[in-house]
Chain A
């Protein structure tokens, strides 16, 4: 099986969907001639032409609104935000237009908004945010965050084929750092299904995106100390896989919720609530969160390192919880 980077897998997934379905087209800033700020769409213009790979003015509301319009009449637009931080500029079109159309008047809006998010590359407060929770709190949207190349391809294909607006978070730290085997034959990873990345018995670490790798790193360390971590990769945040979450919690009886996003109002809060509601009797310790602190993402390396959860911080939390 070919080995692809996270970024190549996304590109391949989009390309295959464009070949398969002529209604798929791309809209975004600098995605054509330039191939995108991170080169996710490199080569697409040459392959599919300027009609299907459209360079736009710097107008995020117009880009997302136009995607809605085209989707309403049978197209499947895939929109790039140059950085997911800029999705704020299109907020109204996403939450008030796209998300509510099906519920309000029954039309479907099959579209994808994708782009790089996350910190770890010294991007500063405007090129590093993990803002997925803005949209997890919006019924009508789906929110997807892959961690592997295989999933990135399978999920982008699923997102493009989905009949609802899907926000697709690509962690920029993973783009060229993560590689894995990606099959050539057609496949999708269904939205809404979590996956166990590592089986364990002592503590379930529930996480998503780049933090999956952090969890695996900590798990490898802790194994030597005799603490067995289970790592559950959510992959989809909206909808999320409640069954898989509860199964892991019941099995390990202790749980750490890990994300790169900040703490208050983060996904961990939602998961803690559902675990408390539905698996309270299975818990042998407090529900623990390991997250970024409630600050903007700072720029200078020592500050950013302090901000980001990492394997060391997770391992510390796990040791404490294990001895509870």
Chain B
């Protein structure tokens, strides 16, 4: 069952023979896709692949540290939501962006933050609620954005960033830019009206938005068959008049290729696309959730489809990387996380009174003014 590591190949030239799923998941159904997308593409260049491996490993390492070390040590304030097992989606999509493009990641897309160049330390500061965290301790987890790096953060009501992505894209159009907005959401969010309204809105106005669904099998405890009745979510694309595609979200190559097509289309002014990335949530909804409602066999099955292991094996097999280099990378990532954690831990918590500041952006509010200068017209 499932894709073995050796099966990595130029994506989209053959049907993905994935199965599995079983009870509680339709994610394992054979992949289908819409009409006009099956063109063979060259593989990403070696340096891109190595960069992606680094980002994947960095995401994995820091999230393991957050979920299994810092959280248990009581150093993380609030809940812990990680994207273990689904890192390939954020990395292989966001890595293709250029300056002026935007990502609107879901709460499990730390990978997209790192791919856009957000320093680890800033991420950790936010998780720890520190004074000089990007949200100054006002909001937690990945609830922080950076306009200069092209990141708009999620809010807790799911799917809300989809209309926001449309607004960014409207600006690109009005200002004659060729930028794109990538908005990520889980399959649970597809049940919400904001996603629906935004997909329709983007299709009618031909906006350069890529709607990326991280279909990880579960929305909290709700399996996909309780979330939607359509067999494959890619059908949502054509229903709104945009291309729809379902890909193996644990296959870096497939994710890369699908987004390459969608981004190219958007930059040409041909409008939005919908990409369903089938993956699996290799953890509970958050760190407090043991996810006993997920059949153990599913975790086992998806463990075998781990995106990082698959990319590593392929790089080794194709001799794009030596085992020694891999070991070195592993160590350097670990060290990078160690250092970032140490730096973040040394930073102070905010003063209580600072909670009153910055409700409004006003002339005396340095905070809002400095951040958005790049976008003042």
Contact = CB atoms under 8 A, between A and B. Distances in A.
Interface in A103-135: 103-110
A68 interface: yes
Given A62-B163, A68-B167, A69-B164, A107 B372 contact: yes
Interface string B337-377: 00000000000000000000011111001011101100111
Contact of B167 (A51, A57, A77): A77
B358 A96 contact: no
B27 interface: no
B160 A102 contact: no
Contacts of A73: 102, 147, 168, 171, 375
Given A102-B368, A107-B371, A72 B152 contact: yes
B190 to A, nearest CB: 15
Given A65-B162, A93-B160, A140-B359, A72 B168 contact: yes
Interface size class of A (residues with CB under 8 A): 35 or more
Interface stretch (B88-96, B195-203, B225-233, B252-260): B195-203
B178 to A, nearest CB: 14
Contacts of B169: 69
Contact of A97 (B164, B197, B205, B368): B164
Contact of B194 (A62, A107, A140): A62
A66 B166 contact: yes
Interface in A47-105: 51-52, 54, 56-57, 59-75, 77, 92-93, 96-97, 100, 102-105
A108 to B, nearest CB: 4
A92 B169 CA distance: 21
Nearest to B366: A106
Contact of A74 (B156, B166, B369, B376): B376
B193 interface: yes
A54 B207 CA distance: 13
Contact of A108 (B162, B166, B372): B372
A49 to B, nearest CB: 10
A208 interface: no
Interface in B135-165: 135-136, 138-139, 143-145, 147, 152-153, 155-157, 160-165
A164 interface: yes
A69 B168 contact: yes
A103 B358 contact: yes
B32 interface: no
Q: What bracket does the count of chain B residues touching chain A fall in?
A: 35 or more
Contacts of A66: 163-164, 166-167, 170, 198, 201
A94 to B, nearest CB: 11
Nearest to B146: A105
A57 B197 contact: yes
A110 B194 CA distance: 21
Contacts of A109: 361
B144 A104 contact: yes
A201 interface: no
B271 interface: no
Contacts of B358: 102-103, 106
Contacts of A75: 167, 170-171, 174, 377
A18 B135 CA distance: 33
Nearest to B167: A69
A300 B97 CA distance: 58
B43 interface: no
Given A73-B168, A93-B194, A106 B162 contact: no
A21 B376 CA distance: 11
A102 B359 contact: yes
Contacts of A57: 197, 200-201, 204
Contacts of A106: 134-136, 358, 367-368, 371
Q: Which of A61, A68, A139 has the most CB of B within 10 A?
A: A61
A25 to B, nearest CB: 7
B314 to A, nearest CB: 37
Contacts of A103: 138, 358-359
Given A66-B170, A107-B372, A163-B368, A93 B163 contact: yes
Given A65-B198, A70-B167, A71-B167, A105 B362 contact: no
B269 to A, nearest CB: 13
A201 B179 CA distance: 62
A107 B147 contact: yes
A51 B157 CA distance: 30
Contact of B201 (A51, A62, A102, A108): A62
B168 A59 contact: no
30 contacts: A59-B163, A61-B194, A62-B162, A65-B161, A65-B162, A65-B166, A65-B198, A66-B166, A68-B164, A69-B167, A69-B168, A69-B169, A69-B171, A70-B167, A70-B170, A71-B167, A74-B171, A77-B167, A92-B194, A93-B194, A96-B155, A103-B358, A105-B145, A105-B153, A106-B358, A106-B368, A108-B369, A108-B371, A163-B360, A163-B362
Given A62-B194, A62-B198, 9 more contacts: A59-B200, A62-B163, A62-B200, A65-B161, A66-B201, A68-B164, A69-B163, A72-B372, A106-B135
